[in-house]
Amino acid sequence: MMAFVEKKLPADAPVAAKALNWVDARFPLSKLWYEQWGRYYAPKNFNWWYIFGSLAMLVLVIQIVTGIFLVMHYKPDANLAFASVEYIMRDVPWGWLVRYMHSTGASAFFIIVYLHMTKALLYGSYRKPRELLWLFGVGIFLCLMAEAFFGYLLPWGQMSYWGAQVIVNLFGAIPFIGPDLSLWIRGDYVVSDATLNRFFSFHVIAIPLVLLGLVAAHLIALHEVGSNNPDGIEIKENLGPDGFPVDGIPSHPYYSVHDIFGVVIFLTIFSAIIFFAPEMGGYFLEYNNFIPADPLKTPPHIAPVWYFTPFYSILRATTSEFMWALIIGVVAYVALVMLKSRLASKTKIAIAVAALVAIIGMLVFDAKFWGVVLMGVSVLILAGLPWLDNSPVKSIRYRPSWHKYVYIVFGIAFVILGYLGVKPPSPIAERVAQVCTFIYFGFFLLMPWWSTMGTFKRVPDRVTFHPH
């Protein structure tokens, strides 16, 4: 057992140094600072793609702080919720600013997280030894979606009410347990005061606790295995005489300044949106949500917030006609696995049996159920990336040039799905969404093959860095 030790400082030492020494003897404050940031060596070739992790932390703090102030005045009651939001906007000093910071922050959070995930795709940040780090990140993404969904009902406007009604009713498509599950989530036969209270408790207490735990796990895992870099080289494998990576630099002060500059740019854009376009043309705050919820009047077009719409489009694209194309796709994929995969025979048989069960299910259960399944799988499939990508290199810098076009096509399909999700359904949009759905899933499911094809460039032994 280690004895209690407190450093002896000179009598004329600054008061701040004495106070820090007193704390360090009882709590590892300086040790935590040095291990987690001050002396944490990061690759010296970071580019601006690596700013979004820090920005995500900043927006998380903004959301927590503004959420605390909003809860002080918000009433989780179906008869008072909308009026309490109007009270915050009109009568609470600076309440309009806090509310707009929170609503804009929600969209900013997803923009930053999507860009952060794009960086991971481009540079292979999910590859060994960062599989668990990636899984924690996917967990954070799922928590953000749940947090945004539960918070979406709280303003109790028309789009909040009917959007929640549509999404909760989707669970009713699940065979056998669906109707009871929908009833349990709502707490009533329709979205009502019971639903509002449930969603409020999840939004304010349950999900934030899980989210903070996952963020802590994500950071601990990151600092354990080290940060990836645009070259995909493990800098911890090349240490200098001092025991630190020769291709690394201390995060402080180098990346502290880097991140602060990025924060200033972000806050400038963030402030401009808050003060001049907080609704962002109805994408950040829907115009129907400024109308009190009316259970007797359905809006002409119900759509979720923009950051859910790519997955919502996949749901809408799953029609009875699309099911036949889906069955053909499953058969073709199983044939590809059987002929071109190096998996063990038992694994291939298991895949064939699972596919057969799925095809029977597609013929038995209706398209609405499979739309819900595909919507869920479209998010969960992200967790499989570390095992789907078999490329011999991590970074897109050293992959064949045509791989970039695969990523571009995938990105365009994702954006199109997001755009179609906010628009009213139409026959042409439905067909485009179905094509984009196949592109979306094809990107991941065909990755074990296309990620290994082509001529790869040689990865250098040291990171490539060109000082400014």
The answer to whether 74 touches 154, Cβ cutoff 8 Å, is yes
Beta-strand (E) ranges in 164-262? 248-250
The answer to whether 105 touches 56, Cβ cutoff 8 Å, is no
The answer to whether 41 touches 239, Cβ cutoff 8 Å, is no
At 292, give phi and psi (nearest 5°).
Answer: -60, 145
The answer to whether 211 touches 143, Cβ cutoff 8 Å, is yes
Which tokens sit at 7? 């450093």
Per-residue model confidence (pLDDT) at position 4:
55
The answer to whether 303 touches 312, Cβ cutoff 8 Å, is yes
Secondary element (H or E) of residue 42: strand 41-43
What does the buried/exposed string (b/e) look like for 138-170 if buried means 16 or more CB atoms within 10 Å of the residue's CB? bbbbbbbbbbbbbbbbbbbbbbbbbbbbbbbbb
Q: How many CB atoms lie within 10 A of CB 232?
A: 20
Which tokens sit at 243? 């025991």
Which residues touch 293 (CB under 8 Å, ≥6 apart)?
Answer: 78, 82, 156, 157, 158, 160, 161, 162
Per-residue model confidence (pLDDT) at position 439:
97
Which residues touch 43 (CB under 8 Å, ≥6 apart)?
Answer: 227, 228, 229, 231, 233, 235, 245, 247, 248, 463
Q: How many angstroms separate the CA atoms of 455 and 145, rounded?
A: 38
Q: How many CB atoms lie within 10 A of CB 370?
A: 22
Written as one letter, the residue type at 133 is L
For helices 427-445 and 320-340, give the axis angle rounded to 10 degrees. 20
Q: Whole-model pTM?
A: 0.94
The answer to whether 382 touches 138, Cβ cutoff 8 Å, is yes
Per-residue model confidence (pLDDT) at position 155:
95
Residue 400 to residues 229, 272, 393, 458, Cα–Cα distance (Å): 19, 40, 10, 11
Could you list the pLDDT tens digit for every one of the 468 residues in the chain?
A: 445 566 777 877 888 888 888 898 888 888 888 888 888 899 999 999 999 999 999 999 999 999 999 999 999 999 999 999 999 999 999 999 999 999 999 999 999 999 999 999 999 999 999 999 999 999 999 999 999 999 999 999 999 999 888 888 888 888 888 889 999 989 988 899 999 999 999 999 999 999 999 999 999 999 899 999 999 999 988 888 888 899 999 998 889 999 999 999 999 999 999 999 999 998 899 889 999 999 889 888 888 899 999 999 999 999 999 999 999 999 999 999 998 888 888 989 999 999 999 999 999 998 999 999 999 999 999 999 999 999 999 999 999 999 999 999 999 999 999 999 999 989 999 999 999 999 999 999 999 999 999 999 999 988 887 765
Q: How many CB atoms lie within 10 A of CB 116?
A: 21
Q: How many angstroms separate the CA atoms of 373 and 181, rounded?
A: 15
Q: How many angstroms separate the CA atoms of 421 and 42, rounded?
A: 39
Q: How many angstroms separate the CA atoms of 210 and 351, rounded?
A: 33
Per-residue model confidence (pLDDT) at position 468:
56
Residue length, the chain?
Answer: 468
Listed in order, the ranges of the chain carrying CATH 1.20.810.10 are 34-286, 309-456
* CATH for the 34-286 domain, from 1.10.357.10, 3.40.50.300, 1.20.810.10, 2.60.120.960: 1.20.810.10
Q: Quick one: fold of 309-456?
A: Cytochrome Bc1 Complex; Chain C (1.20.810)
Q: How many angstroms separate the CA atoms of 104 and 148, rounded?
A: 12
Q: Tokens 């207490």 map to which residue?
A: 205
Secondary element (H or E) of residue 37: none
Written as one letter, the residue type at 409 is V
Per-residue model confidence (pLDDT) at position 1:
47
Secondary element (H or E) of residue 286: none
Q: How many angstroms separate the CA atoms of 459 and 399, rounded?
A: 10
